[in-house]
Amino acid sequence: MSEPIVILTEEPLGADDRLNIERLVAGADTRLVVLVPANTERHLLVDFLENLSLLDIAKAFRELTSHAPDPSQERAQAAETLSVSLAALEGLGSGVTGEVVDGGAVSGLVTKVRETGAAQAVVITRPHAVADTFHTDWANKAQDQLGLPVLHLYAGSGFIGDS
């Protein structure tokens, strides 16, 4: 059995994501470990600028005035994302497991990669204009901490982020 691949996602994985991971596994006997953060730790100003950059002005101001989400709601949403993602990847490699991680998303990924001895990490997110531009996205942060390449895929597409 080859070393596992650890996948960190903020979005429920779907058919396109499965295809990308299937290509990555390439028929190998690889175990997949999916991580979903309970809290994505988004920053109000970054989210505001990101929505403005995508010309979604209404959403930018709506999120600017919204209250902090309830932690139990965030955890339930993360559990649902994990469930959908595990179902999407079912049957790939030598098995798929996963968990909701508390604390920082990147620190959870780094810990799991080191714990499992994974040789590869994958981060799947929707595009984040500001974080991606300034290389402060999860994939870049994880790559800096791990010292190994971290593949950054955009959810629901074949596009690769710059990490």
| pLDDT tens digits, 17-65 | 999 999 989 888 899 999 999 976 655 555 655 655 656 667 655 665 5
For the chain, state the CA radius of gyration: 16
Instruction: With a cut of 50, say whether residue 13 has pLDDT above it.
Output: yes
Q: Is the dihedral of CA 142, 56, 157, 72 positive or negative?
A: positive
pLDDT score, position 138: 77
Q: How confident is the model at residue 122 (pLDDT cuts 50, 70, 90)?
A: very high
Asked if residue 121 has pLDDT above 80, the reply is yes
Mean pLDDT of 133-151: 77
Backbone dihedral angles phi then psi of residue 50, each to the nearest 5 degrees:
-65, -45
Q: Is 16 exposed, middle or buried (0-12, 13-18, 19+ CB in 10 A)?
A: middle
Neighbours of 157 (CB within 10 A): 13
Query: How far is Cα 112 from Cα 153, in angstroms, rounded to an integer?
Result: 19
What was the pLDDT predicted at 160? 56
User: Using an 8 Å Cβ cutoff, are 6 and 93 in contact?
Assistant: no
If you average pLDDT over residues 104-132, what whole number do you get?
A: 83
Whole-model pTM: value is: 0.79
Q: Please, which residues have CB within 8 angstroms of residue 88's CB and are 6 or more apart in sequence?
A: 12, 13, 14, 15, 17, 18
